[in-house]
Every structure is written in C-alpha cells, then in structure tokens.
Amino acid sequence: MASLDVPLQVQTKLRVFMIPSFATGHLLPMTDLARLLTIRPNVKPTIMTTPANATLIQPTLDLLADMGHQVQLLIYPFPSVGLPSGIENLATAPPSEEWRIYKAQDMCQPAYESILKAHRPDAIIADVAFWWVTDIAAELSIPRITFYPPGVFPQVVMSNLFKIRSEIISLDVKNAQPVNVPDLPSPEINIPVSELPTFLVEENFLADVWMKIKMAQLEGFGVVVNTYYELEPEYCDLYRKVDAKRVYFVGPVALSSGGDDQRIVKRGGNGNTVCLDWLDGKEKGSVVYVCFGSWCHFTITQLSELAFGLEESGKNFLWVVRGGEDEKFGWIPERWEERIRSRGLIIKGWAPQVAILQHESIGAFLTHCGWNSLLEAASYGVPVLTWPLVFDQFINERLFVDVKGWGARVWEGGNRGPKLGEKKVVPRAAIADVVSKFMEPGGKGDIMRGKAQEMAAMAKAAVQEGGSSWNDLTCLIYDLMKEKVKCNVRSENSHT
C-alpha cells in the first residue's frame, strides 16, 4: 500500500489540467501560472482552450519549450454561437456580440466533462467563471482549484456588499449616499451606488451566477489568487477565514524573473518591439503609458477628448488603442498624429504591456483599473492615474488610491459608473490638467512613485524562493501531491 509519507521528489508527475476563460485578462494569467508550475519539479500542466485562444499563448509556450519547460496544449473546438471564424475571445468580439462569448463558455461544459473523464488528471485548476467544473471534479474524485485572476480586495468587498444587497437595491442610484462596505478592516470604504457592479444594485441573472460561484468555491479543494500577501495583508487574512477551504496567494504571476525577457515581450501577442524602441529614446520616468485593457470600449467622442487632453498635457505618452476598427482608426483628429509625433506614440492593437511597464522611461500608467494592469503596475513600481469603466474596476481603484495611496483619479466628482460611461464625457481640459500635474517633478506623482516602488520591492521578494507567493505555490503543489497519494491509497484499498 502506498504511503502518505513518500517524499515528493520520488512521486510521479502531478498532472494538472488548467481551464481558462475566453478573456485575455484571464487567459494570460492562467498561462503565467502554468509557467510557474512547469518550472517546479514533478508538475505537468496542460492548458485546455480553443484554437484562436491558443494562438494568443503559443509564443509563451514555445519559449518555455526552448528553455526545457513543457506546457501541453489541449485544443477543443469553439462552439458555434454565430460569431465569425477566429472570434473566440472578449478582446476580439464587438461589444454588441460579447454575450455570444459568454454563451460559448457555458456551451463548453459537455466538452470539458468528456475531456476530463478521458484524461483523468490529478487536479483541475479552472477559471472562476466555470463554477460547474466543481461538480465534474467531484464526480471524478479529482481536486478542483478555483483560479481568481482578480485580487482579494474586490472579492471581499463584493461578498460583503452582497450580504446587504436587498438594502442597496432599494436605494436611488442617482441620489443615494455612498454605501459603506460592512465588516472590513480599516480604513472605512464607501462606494457610490452608481459605481457598484450591476448584480449588487438590481435584480439580474448575475446574482444567481455569483452565488453559484461562491458555493463552488467553498465546496472545491481551494482557491488560487493572483495577488501577493504584502499588497493586501488585512484582506488576505479575512479571505482565508471565510471564502475557501484553502487559499494560495501566488502572484504577481506575470512578474518577470531573470532570463525571460523574450517571454514578457511576446506575452499575449506577436513580440512587436516598436514601442520599446521608442521608449528607449525617452528620459527616465518621463512617459505616461495609456491603456484601457483588452475589452473596454470608449465612444468616439471620448477617444477624441482623450487625444486632445494628452496633447495639451505637454507630456510624453504611449497610448495603446484596442477594440473594433472604428475605435482603432475612425476617430483620430485631423493632423493630430503629426502634431504629437515628437512626444507621443499611438499603438493600434496589441502591445507588450509587462515589458512597457518594466521600461525605465515609464513614469505613470493611465489605466482602467483592471486587476491585471494594477498588479503589473505594482510589480514594476509605476504609480497609476485611474479611470475605471466597468464591473469591479471602481472597487479596485479604491484599494490603490484610497488604501495604498499610490494612485490619483482622472475623473473626480459627479456621478461615475458603468452605466454612465457612455453618457458622460471627461473633457480634454480635465485630462490635460491631471496628467500634467501628476508628471511634474517634485509633485504628487513623485510621492506616489516612491510608494509604488516600495510595493514593487515587496512583489519581487514575494515571488523569489522563500517569498510569500513562492511558498504558497509550494504549498499548493505539496497539497495536491498529498491528495494524489490519498487517491492512490483509496484506489489500492478498493481493489484489495
């Protein structure tokens, strides 16, 4: 009979199947986690995804293979949901068609069940969106780990607000006082109703999804979160107590370690380095990096105002514009590119964000407050100018601006929120003012830059051997190894 005390180094490979969702902001962190697993002894990760999503991560996997680290790809067909061929991700779907991506994710359940039953891995790490994988894992007696690309703070805030959801729903969105988030460690957090995710302020299907996610999380083996303990310690302590059987804080998963510069350049794209070459010609800390994620969209009017605001700020900027064809090309003011050529660069499409944030010329990051972007800024000591747009981004903003104190809002005062984003235009004068003041030597930006660099030092220490995230990843592997041995023992006993 096998022994639970068998040393880990003599165990067979731990086969871990990983299931990312169809969103670049979830797919890339899952791939980064697979990278961290495969460089550890005796772990064999396999990523399950669709053809077009596989192309986004293939460059990273190829580089890993060149270094002797193998991550397997298991590709299955993207369901037919009425999208053109090759559109399999929220980043490439038009805003009006995003619902089809979510529908496709739900339609994948039979495929996942068939694949997992055929391969019977030792463990499953599935994106938070796939709450129903917990049931498949239980049927197969396989541990299921929930992967949360966002951090702990937004989860704790939304969980605590969900407890008083009925009270929030009764409030007048336009006239209500900000809602106080209950049961949080200090400082006190107050959020206007207009800035809360819709499932907290109105009756919709997402509330039911939230409850299913939380139930699956509590019933599963544990949760892996893309954060590091030192970034949000009080909230991590609270999360460990109430949100899962086991919690592993393993981030920042994208943080570069020595010898993998090519990986961060090619991460999620084609490895184009034009923007990095441009940054090489700028002074240290002189450039504002502007990017609003892979699937957030602006109106044409707002894009134009942002363009003029950046121009009138008088500061260097690198602006990545993603989205549909109109958002990439149809809005640029006449002769604008000619006027800003000496100090501004606009990239239409993909750009190597981690490599950009790592560049010494970057002095600030104007961001939508997606968790990945904020965590990557923290990893490289870049202070943030915040412009949240949807879902948990307004909550994320509060951690970095109000709690940590190394960010400043672009959009101050008045009503903000996901439903107001298309109705309210932030004027060029306000954008120019906040950017120019933030980048002035000796000003607020310099103070926040110092705080951000302290957080970066903590992030780098966390992922080094012996650091908090390194140790949590070690614990995850060890716990899954022990579970594998237990399963082997049960299997042997059932045959005796």
| Fold matches, 8-257+463-494 and 273-458 | yes
Dihedral angle sign, alpha carbons of residues 351, 352, 357, 360: negative
Name 185's Cβ contacts closer than 8 Å, sequence gap at least 6: 234, 235, 238
Examine the pLDDT at 457 and tell me if it is beyond 60: yes
- 245, two tokens: 């059987």
Q: What is the pLDDT of residues 284-319, one digit of tens each?
A: 999 999 999 876 778 888 899 999 999 999 999 999
pLDDT at 3: 37
Examine the pLDDT at 91 and tell me if it is beyond 90: no
The CB-based long-range contact list for 247-250 (8 Å cut-off, 24+ gap) reads: 247/222, 247/223, 248/222, 248/223, 248/224, 248/472, 248/473, 248/475, 248/476, 249/152, 249/225, 249/468, 249/469, 249/472, 250/33, 250/36, 250/224, 250/225, 250/226, 250/469, 250/472, 250/473, 250/476
Is 432 in contact with 309 (CB distance < 8 Å)? yes
Confidence of residue 258 (pLDDT cuts 50, 70, 90): very low
Q: What is the pLDDT of residues 165-214, one digit of tens each?
A: 999 998 877 777 899 999 999 899 999 998 999 899 988 888 898 999 99
Lowest mean pLDDT across 218-222, 272-276, 366-370: 272-276
Q: Which residue of the set 26, 297, 359, 368 is catalytic?
A: 26
Residue with tokens 């716990």: 479
The CA-based angle 24-30-33, given to 5 degrees, is 145
Examine the pLDDT at 458 and tell me if it is beyond 80: yes
Phi, psi of 20 (to 5 degrees): -85, 160
CA 80 to chain centre: 27
pLDDT at 1: 33
SS3 letters across 253-317: CCCCCCCCHHHHHHCCCCCCCHHHHHHHCCCCCCEEEEECCCCCCCCHHHHHHHHHHHHHHCCEE
Q: Give the single-character DSSP code of 347.
A: E
Q: What is the pLDDT of residues 357-374, one digit of tens each?
A: 999 999 999 999 999 999
Pairing of strands 123-127, 144-148: parallel
Examine the pLDDT at 9 and tell me if it is beyond 90: no
Q: Give the single-character DSSP code of 2.
A: -
CA distance 179 to 195: 10
- % of the chain residues with pLDDT over 90: 68
Task: Name the residue among 134, 140, 138, 147 with its Cα closest to residue 118.
Answer: 140
pLDDT at 425: 86
First-to-last CA distance in the chain? 10
Examine the pLDDT at 467 and tell me if it is beyond 90: yes
Mean pLDDT for the chain overall: 88
Residue with tokens 């030092």: 457
The arithmetic mean of pLDDT across residues 225-249, rounded, is 94
- 291, two tokens: 């990017």
Half-sphere exposure in the Cβ direction for 40 (13 Å, CA) = 26
Q: Which residue of the set 5, 32, 69, 127 is catalytic?
A: 127
Confidence of residue 269 (pLDDT cuts 50, 70, 90): low
CA distance 12 to 83: 42
Catalytic residue flag (residue 26) = yes
Is 169 in contact with 202 (CB distance < 8 Å)? yes
Q: Give the single-character DSSP code of 193.
A: G
pLDDT at 273: 80
Confidence of residue 350 (pLDDT cuts 50, 70, 90): confident
pLDDT at 423: 58
Examine the pLDDT at 20 and tell me if it is beyond 80: yes
Examine the pLDDT at 242 and tell me if it is beyond 50: yes
Q: Could you please state the CATH topology (level 3) that the domain comprising 8-257+463-494 is classified under.
A: Rossmann fold (3.40.50)
Examine the pLDDT at 260 and tell me if it is beyond 90: no
Examine the pLDDT at 496 and tell me if it is beyond 90: no
Catalytic residue flag (residue 479) = no
Higher-scoring residue by pLDDT: 264, 273 = 273
Confidence of residue 44 (pLDDT cuts 50, 70, 90): very high
Q: What is the pLDDT of residues 152-164, one digit of tens each?
A: 999 999 999 999 9
pLDDT at 417: 66
pLDDT at 432: 96
CATH class of 273-458: alpha beta
The CB-based long-range contact list for 138-141 (8 Å cut-off, 24+ gap) reads: 138/219, 140/116, 141/487, 141/490
Domain ranges of the chain: 8-257+463-494, 273-458
CA distance 47 to 75: 8
Half-sphere exposure in the Cβ direction for 244 (13 Å, CA) = 26
Task: Name the residue among 32, 31, 50 with its Cα closest to residue 90.
Answer: 50
CA distance 221 to 231: 24
Residue 277, amino acid: D
pLDDT at 490: 60
Dihedral angle sign, alpha carbons of residues 320, 261, 124, 229: negative
The arithmetic mean of pLDDT across residues 26-33, rounded, is 95
Lowest mean pLDDT across 78-87, 330-339, 400-409: 330-339
Examine the pLDDT at 379 and tell me if it is beyond 60: yes
